[in-house]
Each structure stands twice: as C-alpha cells, then as structure tokens.
A and B are shown apart, each in its own frame.
Chain A
Amino acid sequence: MNDMPGGLAPARLARYRAFEVLAHRVVEGFMTGLHRSPFKGFAIEFDEHRPYSPGDDPKHVDWRLVGKLDRLYVKQYEEDTSLRACLALDCTGSMGYASGSVAKIEYGRYVCGVFAYLLNRQQDAVGFMSFDSGEQTFLPPAATRKHLMAILDRLKQCQAPVGTQGRAALGDVFEQLSHRLTRRALIVIVSDLFDDAEAIIRGLTHFSQRKHEVILFQILDRQEATFSFAGVTQFQSRETGEASLADPVRLRRSYIEQFEAHNSHLREACHRLHIDFVQMFTDEPFQRQMAQYLSARLRR
C-alpha cells in the first residue's frame, strides 16, 4: 500500500477533501449541514402547508392563509440537519493478518480516518468505537476539530495483536452499538467479518430496526480469499492460538467454497437490510478503492 504513507495525519487525509459523505437515509439533527432532514420542521426553508390538527403549536399557523381561505393551515419548513455518525473498527486478532506488507487493521484504520476527516470537515458529529474480543472503546459523536484529533489518536493506537483471548462476537458488538446510539446515525463498520454469519446479520438487523444507516467495510487479505499456500502448513489462529496442521493444496477447494458462501450470505443480508457492503483487499491501492466508493455514493 504505497498510497498510505504518512498514516493518519490530517494533511494526508486532506487529499479526500473533494469528497463528501452524504447520508442517504434520514438522519436526525438540527444543525446546518449538507444532510436533508426527513422531518418537516419549523426552521428557515419553507416546504409546504398542511391542515392544522389539534395539538399543533398555534404559532406555526399561517394566519395569512386563514385570512384568505378561512381555514387553518400550518406552515412546514425543511431544514438541513447535521449528521451523526459513528465509526466502528474491528481490532480482533484476525485483523492483524498480513500476507504482504499491509495488515488489514492498518487498512481499516485508514478507512476510519478518511471517514472521520470527511465527516468532521462537513461539521458532522462523528464518534468512534473500536472493539476486540475483550474490550471496547467508545468516543461519542462530536463535530469539533479537537474531537477529530482525538479519534485519529485513538485510531493510531488500534492494534490487532495475536492473542489467545478468543474471537469477538460481532453480532453482540453490533447490538450493543445500536443501543448506545440513541439517535439515528450513520454507522461505518470496518471489519473482516470473520465470525458466524448469522450472528453478524442478527447484529446488523438491530441497526436497521433502529433506523441507522450502515456502511459495512469488509477488509480482506488476498491470501484469505485465494488460500494459495503451498506445502504442509500449521495454521495458527490469531485470536485463540489454536493450531491446525493441513496441506493447503488439498484443502483449497473446500476453503474457498466456505469463504465464498460466507461472503455471499453476508452480501445478500446487507442488500436486504439496505446496508452498503464494501469489500476491500489490502493488496489493492487504498486511494483508488476509497475514491471509487465515495464517488459512487455521491452519484446515488
């Protein structure tokens, strides 16, 4: 990944300033920003009239129309809201795997960094959560420059070391995150999604039910997709430390079948839940992949 030198310095992230992160689904918020609120409110920009119904604040009644039409109409306004977003980075041991020079966690940190920068630049509130099998860290959403720097600092500290503490239950993590975010938000999840697919889907369903918009980045190493090892190999789990001796040549076909089935299952579920499912490989240029996704999202 030659296009990632410099790490998460804001100056490096500034190359993405031409992009904007727009929430396509309704996002709560009342601050001025790029995102159109789904709520018909009473702020600056008039949207439409609607018949008065009991309980409406009388101060929103358009008295001019009353005079003209002798009926009670209430004025409704559409207001740009500020986006609340949360970045979730998987720091489990599997994210530390690198067959080449770049580990998946490094790639994921950069994805989070770019989103944090863009959202902050749009004056949107952005929060951050990292999780592994044992602990979670959470920074609530905020839109200040200082908060961006805090997220970037936290990103820099994210590691995915080999450990024996076990695998993180992604479904549970997602459920907990959805409960933490009391208001609707844009959630960017960066993970390799190496967990039980049903559990992951169950966790993602919680986001949908609570009307969060989710972008799911699956970061993969090419070797994990192709399984092109040769010779008898002892595979050691980066999360549990368990080891299995196998001849990868003999195992490849079965491995790839399992891998493809897992991913396609996730992809279908994301499609059903209106979640953006983005697959990125660490051997491909980050900048190009990221730019492609953001451009495509802008066009939608």
Chain B
Amino acid sequence: MLWALLGMLVPVLIHLFNRARHQVVPFGGMMFVESSLRLRARSLRLHALLLLLVRMAIVALLALAAARPVSRSGGQLGPRPVSWVLVLDTSFSMLQENASGTTPFSQAQAAALIMIAQMASADDMSIVLAGTTPRVLFDEPTYDREALRRALKAAKPSYDSGELPAAISQAYLVLQASKHSRRRVVILTDQQAVNWPQDDARWQQLRRQRATLPVQPAHYILFSKALSAAPNLYVHSLQRRGPISHPALPERFEAIVTNPSSSVVRGTATFSVTGQPAELQNLEFWPGDNTLSFPVTFAAPGPKVCSVKIEGDRFTADNTAHLALKVEETVPVVVVNRNRNLPEAAFVHEALRAADDDERIFTISNIDFAEFEQNLTTILQHAHVLVFTDVPSLRQYTVFALEQFVQQGNGLLVACGPESSPAGLARLYKGGEGLIAIHPTEEYTIPQQATPALVESPIWRRAQMPPEALRTVEVRRCRGGEEAETSQRLAEIADRPLISYQRYGHGSTVTILTPLSAEWSNLPLTAAFVPLLHTLILDLGSSEQPPLNVDQGRSFTYLAQLQTAPKSASVRVQTPDTHYDTKLVQDVDGWHLTHRDTTDPGAYWVRPTDPSLPERAFAARLATGESDFTVLPSKRWGHVSSQLDAAVMAAPQALRDAVAEEEEVQDWWQLFLICALLLLCTELILGERYSS
C-alpha cells in the first residue's frame, strides 16, 4: 500500500499545473496589485508553501494509514490483545490411532483446549475446520471461551482429505473482521502430503490475500506425528456380483482391498451379513489392489447389510465397507402378448421356469394386451419386469406410464416381431431418446451366424451361457434400422444389432430384433437362448429404487408406496452410532423419509412401527481420497513453512514458548488517521485565512 505515498506528488502537480495554466490580464490597477504584492509577497509565499506541505502531509498520512503499518519492538509479549484463528485439520488421516489409542485429531483437540485455557482475557478466537470444504465455526473471533470449547468438542473429522490452503484463506477472511492489532493463525494438522498441495498458484493466491490484511498474522503449524511408517490397508470397494439377490440364487460379493505400501502385509478379512460373520479369510495383501471374493447364499428374504472388515494395520477407520441390499422373495414378471395363445408367452414362461430350477424366483403372469391396457396402473404397480413379446399400437399415455415404470428402477424387455406396429415402435424409440434402443425399419436376408458383442458387460458375465453359444445359431432373415446412441449391443448379425441393452433412468430395457427364420418367432424360441433370456430378465429385475447405497455425506430416502395411510407413521432410524425416532411424510409418491446426515460410514436401518410397512437397510460408503497416506517430505515442509512464514512445532509447549517470544506489535494506522484529520482541519483554516 505504500505506493500510495506517491500521491504526495498530487498537490505539487496541481500547484504547478495551476501556475502553468494561468490567465494573462492587461490590467489598469497594477499599482495596487504591485503594492499589495510587495506588502504580502512574503506571507503569501509562506502560506502557499505551508498549504502545499500540509496537503502533501495529509496524502502521506492517509497512505500510511491505509497501509496499516505496524512496528515491532523486541520486548516480551505485551498486554495487547490477540486475535487467534485455529485451523483444525479434520481430514481422514487425523483418525489414525497410535499405540496408545489416541488419534492426531484428539491430540489436536487437546492442544486447542489448552490454547483456549491459556488465552489472555482480552484475546478472542475463531475456529476453522479444514475438511474438503472449510467450515468457519465463528465468523468473527469470539471472547466466549465456553462456546469455543463446545464447538471444539463437537467437531468431527470429515472422512475426507483436508484443503488446508482453503481453510487458511478462510482464516484470513475471519481476521479481516478482527479488531485487535495482533493476529495469530495456528494450524493443527498431521503430516499428510495430500493436505498441502504443490500448486504454486494456490500459494501465490494465498500470499496475495495475506498481503491485503491490515496486520500480518503470525503463523504456527502444530502437528501431531502421523503413523507414517505403517502401511495403511483400506477397503476400496465392496460389490455384489449376482444379478438379483434371492435365497434360491447363490450370491457372490467382491471386495477390493488396497495395499498402498510396497510390501506384503498379512491380515484377515471378515465378511458378515447383518452383523453375523459369514466368512473369515487369512490373507496376504500384496501391494496394489487385492480382490477378495465371498460366496454367500441368503437364508431368507429381506433387507440385509453385508460388511467386509480387514485387520492388518493400525489405522482401522477405512478398514470396513458396507453394502445394503434387499433379498427378494420373488420377482414379479408380467408377459404381455398380442395374443395369449402365441408361442412366445409359453416360451418365456418355460424359459424362466426352466432356469428357475423350481425355486420360484419369478412370479410370472401372462396377459394379453387388452387386459394390460385395462389394468395398466395396477399391473405397473406390482410388476418388476415387463416382457412385450411384440409391440402393439401403443397409446401416448401407455408409453408415458411405461417410461415412468422403467425410470423408477424396473425393467422392460421388448421383442420387435414381424407384426410390430410402426406407430408403437416409433413411440417407444422416440427419436433415440425413448425406451427401446433400436427402431426396426427394414428387413433383409442375410444368412449369417449371430455373434456376441460387448462380452465384457455385466450381463454376459452373469449369464449362465457362454457368449460363444450364440454362434451355433444361423439367422437367415433379420430386421435392421436406426440405433440410439445409448444402445449397447449384446449380440449382432453382420455388424447389425440383434440384441441391445440400455439404461433408462434407474431401470433398464432390452430390445430384441426378431430374426425371421423358420426356427424363430418374435422371440428366439430355441434352447440356446433360454439361459440368456433368464439372465436378461434377472438383470432387468436387479435395479434398486430408491438407491440403498449412497456415498458418505449424501442423503437416502425410504419410500413406501401405499394406497392407504399406515396405522402408524412412526419409524426408528438406526445410525452407525445411535438411533432416533421420527415420522414418515406423505407426498405424491407415497410415504417417505429422507435421512440427510450420513457423515458416519456404515449401516443405517429404517424400522417402521407399523408391521405392514417394510423394513429397509441403507449403507453409507466411505468416500475418502486420503487413505493412501503419504507423509509430507521434509523438503515440502520447508516450502510450506516458507510460504506461510510459519514456525513448525510438534508440541503445545513449543507453541507457548514461541508465542511468549513473539514481538510486540504496535499498530499505527489510527494515529496516522487522526493526524491526517487534524491536518485537514489545519488546511481548512489556513486556506480560509489565506484566501481572505
């Protein structure tokens, strides 16, 4: 701000400018002018000089006041009050437990409490939590010690990486509001590199922001020693590999455990279903990702939470992963035929039943199209998968209802037979944005064998038939046409689509183009395709709506679609560490509850009081980018401390000593401002006298 001192030149320039641009007047009364000048020349010159000096001094003092200058004396800490801002690292790594069972976060909390206790009575303080998004607990520094202690004790780690430069930036904003001439920023953190970005632009921005502060704060970094030497194993993900969970179907879960270190770590992995251990594995975790597989057969339908927990490192906060799911009692499938007696209906029925192995996974209803349209609402409410063995002429309203049905997480399989209605096909295709991914418009004869496509897709992987089995079928005639961008081909003939799959909202659809061969009708009525059809329908029925698994920090919704009001809307929500009672709320979709606080990863259970309402399990996945712990190298520590001009220390005692030796700071801006005002008054008086 001192460049503003150049403003002192302004009065001089104005003075010179005025003299340079004077007017010339040939005047009659020169004898009086000259005699007046002779009489007053000296005093006029003195006045002019005085005025000029006073004006220059006013500008200089204002510039100095704006620069907020401070002077430091070498003495001990004086009685002048201090504004503190504690930047508390709430990143995931602050949860590392050491041998004595304490975490860096608890150490930082304890150090902060000591600082609050040792604050001088006139000092004030604010706290900034450095999570991914910094959170300022006090917009202005407060004198309320008790409020500070409460806020500090209530603070929790954010299970994510911390943005310390962003938090320090917030601390500077808080200090803008400070009334004290001495300021301190104390950063309580561990030594994780991820929290201190190497981006020079960020640091420059921070330095520029600090330069705008009227008084430069003193910076201290108080760190808790991280468990840098120990490798940190963490569960990267836990996923279900089966298409649909059913007691009759063997289920398989895959957990990916990451070992970020370069050495093999021995440990155990325990898989449990709703708290009951199902499998324990003793393993060697190799550097990198390790995939663990857990085959499970559920004994009974209902909501479940599967968990995997590994043991083998000292930092356990990221060693567990949860997955909520619903084990289905049955999957309602409705087969809609142009004519109930056509062979396709029987084929689907038999195909599903044959693959069902008499376990009754599916509940199959077989209706004709007229009946479907008549009971559209009821059917769509109870069905989970719809199979159209041909495409009739669909009304606009029916197409809209089908779109809603699939969007909400259900499945639709459409076989586009030779007698399909062009209008119905067009409405379902909707220019590439509709329910089906292909719009059949042409027929061609091309004797070829069907070939599988996208064999890496989950559907093929789940299919109980090898993709190569398709090659045994020769297709003599087929249909082709326009293909939507969202289409994923599962099978094709001569580079033309045969079976396509696409996601639509929360659900999915499968489109089958019927080859017009002797063996095939609207559906591939051949034994080779029975497993494929079974897999496709299982996959269509596997969507979950509403989602049962959310990322940590996101909300989840319990929804009960009821025709009538429940006997009781009360529910108990069980969170990973507590529970609370609340009530369901009614809206157009039914009775629902939205739970927003999923800060803690783990299982959340919603248990209604009314037994007619279903119990549901949800899971919040741990979402951290900081499990791959890397300690900040000493060279980078030097960079960080030099950027902030900060003193780095490990113990609160060291901080206390450093603060005690801090130089006394005298703020001069108020004095400069008062002097400028006094001079301004002088200028007014002088100017008045001068002109009179």
Contact = CB atoms under 8 A, between A and B. Distances in A.
B691 A227 contact: no
B28 A262 contact: no
A167 B29 CA distance: 12
A258 B28 contact: no
A253 interface: yes
Nearest to B19: A232
B30 to A, nearest CB: 4
Contact of B690 (A96, A227, A236, A250): A250
A157 interface: no
Interface string A236-258: 11111011111101110111001
Most chain A CB neighbours (cut-off 10 Å) among B19, B27, B36, B37: B27
Contacts of B692: 253
B30 A251 contact: no
Nearest to B41: A246
B31 A235 contact: no
A192 interface: yes
Nearest to B690: A250
Interface in B20-57: 21-37, 39-40, 44, 47-48
A194 B28 contact: yes
Contact of A258 (B18, B36, B691): B36
Contacts of B37: 244, 246, 251
A62 B74 CA distance: 125
Interface in B272-318: none
B691 A229 contact: no
B25 A234 contact: yes
A297 B40 CA distance: 42
B690 A238 contact: no
A34 to B, nearest CB: 37
Contacts of A233: 22-25
A255 B34 contact: no
A95 B28 CA distance: 7
Given A234-B22, A254-B39, A249 B691 contact: yes
Contacts of B31: 167, 194-195
A231 B22 contact: yes
Contacts of A232: 18-19, 21-23
B32 A259 contact: yes
A235 B691 contact: no
B433 to A, nearest CB: 77
Given A97-B27, A238-B27, A238-B28, A231 B690 contact: no
A276 interface: no
Nearest to A258: B32
A224 interface: yes
A237 B27 CA distance: 6
A94 B39 contact: no
A259 B18 CA distance: 27
A220 B183 CA distance: 72
A234 B24 CA distance: 5
B21 to A, nearest CB: 8
A240 B40 CA distance: 22
A162 interface: yes
Interface string B424-459: 000000000000000000000000000000000000
Contacts of A246: 33, 36-37, 44
A221 interface: yes
A231 B36 contact: no
Contact of B27 (A167, A231, A236, A253): A236
State which size class the interface on B falls in: 20 to 34
A104 interface: yes
Contacts of B18: 231-232
Contacts of A262: 32
Contacts, number: 101
Contact of B30 (A235, A245, A247, A254): A235
Most chain A CB neighbours (cut-off 10 Å) among B31, B44, B692: B31
Given A232-B18, A250-B690, A253-B692, A258 B35 contact: yes
Given A231-B22, A234-B23, A247-B44, A221 B28 contact: yes
Contacts of B44: 246-247, 250-251
B23 A224 contact: no
B40 A194 contact: no
Interface in A92-115: 93-97, 104
Contacts of A249: 691
A242 B30 contact: yes
Interface in B334-360: none
A296 B31 CA distance: 32
B504 to A, nearest CB: 82
A243 to B, nearest CB: 8
B25 A229 contact: yes
Contacts of A242: 30, 34
A232 B20 CA distance: 9
A96 B28 CA distance: 8
A231 B40 contact: no
Contacts of B32: 227, 255, 258-259, 262
Most chain A CB neighbours (cut-off 10 Å) among B28, B29, B31, B35: B28
B36 A251 contact: yes
Contacts of B35: 258
Nearest to A242: B30
A235 B33 contact: yes
Nearest to A94: B28
Contacts of B690: 250
A240 B33 CA distance: 14
B369 to A, nearest CB: 99
A246 B39 CA distance: 13
A195 to B, nearest CB: 8
A231 B20 CA distance: 11
A167 B37 CA distance: 19
B691 A250 contact: yes
Interface string A259-276: 100100000000000000
A97 B28 contact: yes
B22 A244 contact: no
A244 B29 contact: no
B457 to A, nearest CB: 89
A110 B32 CA distance: 26
B28 A231 contact: no
A195 B32 CA distance: 10
Interface in B116-130: none
A21 to B, nearest CB: 28
A87 B623 CA distance: 114
A162 B25 CA distance: 12
A246 B33 CA distance: 9
A255 B28 CA distance: 13
A38 to B, nearest CB: 39
Contact of A244 (B23, B33, B39, B691): B33
Contacts of B28: 93-97, 104, 192, 194, 221, 224, 238
A253 B44 CA distance: 12
Most chain A CB neighbours (cut-off 10 Å) among B24, B25, B692: B25
A254 to B, nearest CB: 4
B34 to A, nearest CB: 6
Contacts of B26: 97, 162, 236-238
A288 B34 CA distance: 34
Contacts of A251: 33, 36-37, 40, 44
Nearest to B692: A253
Nearest to A260: B32
A77 B552 CA distance: 139
Contacts of A243: 24
10 nearest A-B pairs in the assembled complex, by CB-CB distance: A97-B28, A254-B36, A94-B28, A237-B30, A232-B22, A224-B29, A258-B32, A235-B27, A234-B24, A255-B36
14 contacts: A104-B28, A231-B23, A232-B22, A234-B24, A235-B25, A235-B27, A236-B27, A242-B34, A246-B44, A247-B48, A249-B691, A250-B44, A254-B39, A255-B36
Interface of B: 18-19, 21-37, 39-40, 44, 47-48, 690-692
Given A231-B22, A237-B30, 4 more contacts: A167-B31, A235-B25, A235-B30, A237-B26
